[in-house]
Structure 1
Amino acid sequence: MKHLFATALTTAMLVASGAWADDTILTVTKDGQDIALTMEEIKAMPVTRFDTATQWTEGGAITFTGVSLADFVAHFEVSEGIMGAIAINDYKVEIPVSDAVEGGPIIAYEMNGAAMSRRDKGPLWVVYPFDDNPEYQSETHYSRAIWQLDRVTFD
């Protein structure tokens, strides 16, 4: 009985932390087809890092690491339109593909060098470099900073 409890507890901890790299972490829908991505596949895309403070975190600037939105949409050969970003709880925002620019937002998978758990807004969070560009310090861009991202659609 102890073994079953320990196994269940370990499984729950791995799922909660997003530590299973071989499982689908993000589903992308393009042209009516679903593409399942693992964390390893996302991390294989070009890496982008920046430091920024957010209104949802404490302690000043945090180093976010992930794939730039520009590299992400280019990977899927998308150059215009709207990217639907949907969280684990089905919250959805629309991000114009025109936001996918060099020096723009990223799909972050690390904060300060550590993977993000669901409690820390992870495992994926669209983050804008708020400190680098005053234009990003607006309700419009704050609303696009969706955390617990698990689905993306291209319309």
Structure 2
Amino acid sequence: MTRQTGATVAALILVGAAAVAEQQDPLLQVTGRIDGGTVSLDRTALEALPVTTLETTTVVTDGTHRFTGFLMRDLLDRLGAGGDHVSALALNDYAVEIPMADFYDYDVVVAYRMDGKALHRADKGPLWIVYPRDDHAVLQDIRYDYRWVWQLYQLDVR
């Protein structure tokens, strides 16, 4: 996808988001090296991205869970993101820098549902960065566990 196409798609997402802005608060703010500067996306805009599902275990829950959301690389591509890493910030002020390569090497999902139920702030939501840890032995390492950001609300592309 070209940067121009990405910007056009991002603009369409934002127009759709603006139409319901009075009904919904933004869930995710993206800043930094993206087309158009700062972008705020509500649930409708995020759910308009191509939907993907991932089944995996986590280090903070029991058993295997089914996560539904969008691929981080899809969002970054549509926003024309450039840079080497993304700083992810959670509602509880947890922050971590994630190499941009992670999103292209692995199917990293930004989940808004777990096991068919919407994620809420009281239970890791409304957004959770989820790695396909069961699909790649290398991802079963604490370095990657730190990159699972729940209560995600901001991405800064650098």
| Length-normalised TM-score, structure 1 | 0.81
- Could you tell me how far apart the structure 1 residues matched to 2:83 and 2:33 are? 14
Q: Alignment length, in residue pairs?
A: 135
Spell out structure 1 runs of 4+ moving beyond 3 A: none
Matches within 5 A, 1:25-44: 25-31=27-33, 33-44=37-48
Residue 120 of structure 1 pairs with residue 109 of structure 2: no
Matches within 5 A, 1:1-155: 22-31=24-33, 33-58=37-62, 60-101=63-104, 103-155=106-158
Structure 1 unaligned runs (5+)? 1-19
Confirm or deny: 8 A CA contact 1:80 1:98 kept in the other structure: no
- Could you tell me how far apart the structure 2 residues matched to 1:21 and 1:129 are? 33
Confirm or deny: 8 A CA contact 1:21 1:40 kept in the other structure: no
- Cα 1:74–1:111, aligned 2, differ >3 Å: closer, same or farther? same
Instruction: Give deviations 1:87-144, integer Å, cap 9, x for gaps.
Output: 0022110011101126421111000111011121000000001111111101111000
- Could you tell me how far apart the structure 2 residues matched to 1:73 and 1:117 are? 23
Look up the equivalent residue of 2:25 and give its one-letter code: D
Confirm or deny: 8 A CA contact 2:83 2:157 kept in the other structure: no
- Could you tell me how far apart the structure 1 residues matched to 2:84 and 2:106 are? 19
- Could you tell me how far apart the structure 1 residues matched to 2:33 and 2:47 are? 24
Look up the equivalent residue of 1:25 and give its one-letter code: L
- Could you tell me how far apart the structure 2 residues matched to 1:21 and 1:124 are? 19
| Length-normalised TM-score, structure 2 | 0.80
- Cα 1:98–1:145, aligned 2, differ >3 Å: closer, same or farther? same
Confirm or deny: 8 A CA contact 2:112 2:125 kept in the other structure: yes
Displacement after TM superposition at 1:48 (Å): 1.1
- Could you tell me how far apart the structure 2 residues matched to 1:67 and 1:102 are? 15
- SS of corresponding position for 1:22: coil
Overall identity of the aligned pairs, in %: 36
| CA radius of gyration, larger in | 1
Look up the equivalent residue of 1:92 and give its one-letter code: A
- Could you tell me how far apart the structure 2 residues matched to 1:54 and 1:126 are? 11
